[in-house]
Structure 1
């Protein structure tokens, strides 16, 4: 229970800090917009770039583990596209909801929690889970959104405009460049590496403060049924699908299996909120789902940790 509290309390505190800042108007009327732009164009690209520079080919050689993560992401992601919606519903909004269904708070909460619960042997599989979430899932969602933004034109022109938009998108370009650098086998110069790490470390806290600012300014919002559907897909469907695959379908070390389950059971990260803000879509459902899933995860992750302890996997 203490491990869960230690992982979730900073999240609540940062959201609360943003909420109080908005209530007291500490950052001014344009503070939230400036903070969002900082995260989208500077901090988050730095985080994604640096994460991808840490990839090693041998880390991606665990086919069963990677496939389990992918299927665990795809199933809740697809749920959003199976929901009956009004004819005028934008695919951009559906894609953002789909992202929320599967986007775990893996970097900010996942890695520290895995280290506390499962020990240092969980670091490598946890990093792979972060990459699958923050880079692969994020990249697919941005591609769907950009294609929707340019639909209604000649198919070839749509493809070309979407391609150009993707090449200019810092949230997609940065991990691609990071992966390209990783495959060179070269180390980043120390000063550059420290700069990127410092900038990237600001992404999660600033995004959480931005959520607090948004919640205070937007007031109550988000369709309850939509928020409930997102939270159910994230906290129940994703870890359940992942658990079936890592425990009963693929053969892998127990630490890797429980790392996959624990990472899948995490609450929603800030990615869906940031994309909603970036593309000027309604961010209320995303922000509410992040908050609600984080609250509920205190109970669900506590139950999961108890199960891990029962299996004799708890790190001492």
Structure 2
């Protein structure tokens, strides 16, 4: 049962993030320390250095031989359900688009498992909750954040090659403009163009350390746990000196981004509400479907649903900012998501106590 001490632990875990956020905000809005161009450079530093090492660090310290593969299967099914729904929406609805499908996928599926999830799950379900939420973080980093990187890089390369938008309606020039592509200069897509585009995308992904940081960490975890030896201290220290700055510098970069917007709620009230619904309703609902499909029950079922309702991943904002896609929506989701997550998650915890 959650007590005030447990609530305090969650607050202790999240308040430092807001301190970093406010320092970043103040450095631009109040003190004029950084210019917009320098803010972009800071975000790139986070994207290519601190976050990959942070990802490697926690992946290298798990025990892959004790992972719950039914739980992982349920998580995969839930993500695939969301991908199918968003693909149909983009294809069949006049309001659907490729760009908004990417952002909606981030909102529905990518969670801040480590910072908020670990202390909260420990309070709710003990070590079982911690183990499962860490496992979901590793799988998220290996598969789903890599998938997000792929579709973002595909979109970016697509626009640079002046191909028509995958979800664009030729009758609606705004759908081309949304991706920065000139309804008069685009070239028709054919097999040769597609192969050329995919080559560009894979080369860029191969040069992005976020694509393989978690995979290298997981390989190390397999080797270390199979033959029972630890990471050399010189290697561990080299990783930790950067990885410990991961979430702090990410929040600092988000604060800079907020300071450069005209409004505190950068994306507006309507999109904020939609983002919260996708985060705290659609994501857990899809996870419930996946969990039932593989036969999860008891505490594992409850943990699966609650971890899907954790607040928005900070990494998703960093990627959105780097690739220029709805960073205002993702930043708002991170900030407000962490504010409202505690009462929402406690409500889920209370309701799911009646589920067997």
Q: Deviations over 1:162-193 (max 9, x none)?
A: 11111111111212322333343464212211
Instruction: Find the counterpart in structure 2 of residue 234 from structure 1.
Output: 279
Instruction: Find the counterpart in structure 2 of residue 59 from structure 1.
Output: 66
CA-CA distance at 1:110 after TM superposition: 1.0
Instruction: Assess, with a 3 A threshold, how the Cα gap between structure 1 residues 275 and 208 changes in structure 2: closer, same or farther.
Output: same
Matches within 5 A, 1:134-283: 134-151=141-158, 152=163, 154-185=193-224, 187-220=230-263, 221-246=266-291, 248-252=292-296, 254-283=298-327
Q: 1:129–1:260: 8 Å Cα contact kept in structure 2?
A: no
Instruction: Find the counterpart in structure 2 of residue 101 from structure 1.
Output: 108
- Are positions 1:70 and 2:114 aligned together? no
Q: 1:70–1:132: 8 Å Cα contact kept in structure 2?
A: no
Instruction: Assess, with a 3 A threshold, how the Cα gap between structure 1 residues 77 and 198 changes in structure 2: closer, same or farther.
Output: farther
SS for the counterpart of 2:212 is: helix
SS for the counterpart of 1:150 is: helix
Alpha-carbon separation, structure 1, partners of 2:74 and 2:130 = 17
Structure 1: runs of 5 or more not aligned? none
Alpha-carbon separation, structure 1, partners of 2:221 and 2:144 = 19
Instruction: Find the counterpart in structure 2 of residue 16 from structure 1.
Output: 22
Q: RMSD over aligned Cα, in angstroms?
A: 2.9
Structure 2: runs of 5 or more not aligned? 164-188
Please report the TM-score for the alignment, with normalisation by the length of structure 2.
Answer: 0.76
Alpha-carbon separation, structure 1, partners of 2:117 and 2:43 = 23
Alpha-carbon separation, structure 2, partners of 1:10 and 1:33 = 22
SS for the counterpart of 2:260 is: helix
CA-CA distance at 1:259 after TM superposition: 2.5
Alpha-carbon separation, structure 2, partners of 1:121 and 1:98 = 27
Alpha-carbon separation, structure 2, partners of 1:275 and 1:237 = 22
- Higher-Rg member (1/2): 2
Aligned pairs, number: 308
Alpha-carbon separation, structure 1, partners of 2:270 and 2:306 = 26
CA-CA distance at 1:252 after TM superposition: 4.9
